[in-house]
Structure 1
Amino acid sequence: MVPNDKSASDYENFIGKSLSHFEKTFADLSLDKQPFEAWIKNLLETAFWASKTSHLPTIKDICIQFAKAQDLAFSVNPEPKYHNRGHFKEVCLSMTELLKAQNDISPPLDNLSTWKMSDHDSLILLLCAICHDFGHDGSMNKYPFELEKKSLEMIDAFMGQISIDSSNRKNIQSTVEPFILATDPRFFPTLVSKFDMADSFSHSDCMSMLLVESDLLASTLPARGKILGERLSEEWQLTNPEAAASVKTDKGRLYFLEHIRFISPQSHALGIEVIRKISINQVNE
């Protein structure tokens, strides 16, 4: 049964208490054929997101409009095997759970903490989760930030078409740029290095890390991650058959798992580093 027409309540507390439930949710998500626009509307109706406010009153509507634009784009262009609406939904759910985990961090984050995300920060991060791969064609970067810059160009163009004043548009564009650029996999070591010493990272770096962690989370899961590796292999088959052959192997999966880290206190509260190590052990068995 394809889980279409999900209600907002289906997205509440989806992680539950077990890894198996966590895995099942992502598996169900991959079968969800609901349009991205409707899916985002449902997500925004959950108690967590409904409570969020911003000095940009149209930010939630912008999120919905970007989701609608991606539905339209994939109605006329081929949808990549991995960088598709299923991936976007997974990143949005991952972001939601990471942000919700902020309330479970012990000791609590105080108002001055670099890692504490305001309502506005949270909505900006959700927007990034929705559109960080805007216009992705399923290829790989030939040079640093190639696809990420293309996404930003398309985001800029789309922002010029929707009903938002120019000052707010420029503010959003400049705000999301460093976060989206940070999702280039080759930038990951540079980003992580900022957190290796205390006080060497900024609030913006923390927001970048939360977006990157959301981007990686589903691929870290033991069963779901293996499936996603196979899908990425299919996606890369035409443009980079060598990488396509490697990414779906145990060796390729182990390389991925061993070269990423989950750093945020939010991800630690969720136990994502523990899950990463479970996945590594699974591959080594």
Structure 2
Amino acid sequence: MSQAADAVAAWLAELAEQRRLSPHTISNYRRDLDKLLSAAGEMPLAELHGQQIRRFIGQMHAQGLGGRSLARTLSAWRGFFAWLGRHGAVPANPCEGVRSPKSPKLLPKALSVDEVNRLLEPFADDDPLLAARDTAMFELFYSSGLRLAELAALDRDALDSILHEGEVRVLGKRSKARIVPVGRMAQRALAAWAEVRDQLAGADEVALFVGQRGRRISHRVIEDRLAKRAVQLGLPRHVHPHMLRHSFASHVLQSSGDLRAVQEMLGHASIASTQVYTHLDFQHLARTYDAAHPRAKRKP
């Protein structure tokens, strides 16, 4: 292993152990830094400068990487070089002042209320245990706006506060805890799952949601089950767990107008991350206006 690769491994280990970043985030950082080492080739990291970093980013952009992906990559590089600088391994951070190409700002894709209702209706599955589990998972996604990792990480002891207090405590990004309300329909689905969970779960398994082998369910299985259910119901788009989180946020904002409350429920560190849902809210208002107002024949 090269000296640069050793440094990458050491930085990622520190991020995992001290900052407790998720395995998914660590994996993304590793891929981004692999790109840096590949682009640098035999050149020592200490000899890289800003113009070369710009060239690397430009080459990746020409290969089809979008602005958001490049911004994430550049952020990983910048953090790595900052760490190297603190350890005296590089004279300066060559990523400072380098910006990624801009890309169009895409609004999160959310389901309509009717589509969510269809998705969460009682569903006939070959295996009633899996149907009960899936319904509980998807109801909880939409009820509380959880991230995929947050839901998969829940343990069985979360049921007590869900069923009796109507709330769930989750660990979000950077291990930041928050308490989120759980709606009545989600409580009902989770109570039904709690009655049959032990028929699927291993004897010593603490996870709330388990796969067919009785162990904690994987992210991929959750994604696949949700996508399959949407297809079987004939929904006209690919549905993934984060879409239920987006739908939760936009629907709550449409009903309440309380951006700060939505920010807290989503676990966003900055309200700027939540403000994107105000655009979704305006789209809803615009559609209502166009459909209802007698003089609403506006151009698209």
Task: Calculate the TM-score normalised by the size of structure 1.
Answer: 0.27
Task: Calculate the TM-score normalised by the size of structure 2.
Answer: 0.26
Higher relative contact order (CA 8 A, sep 6+): 1
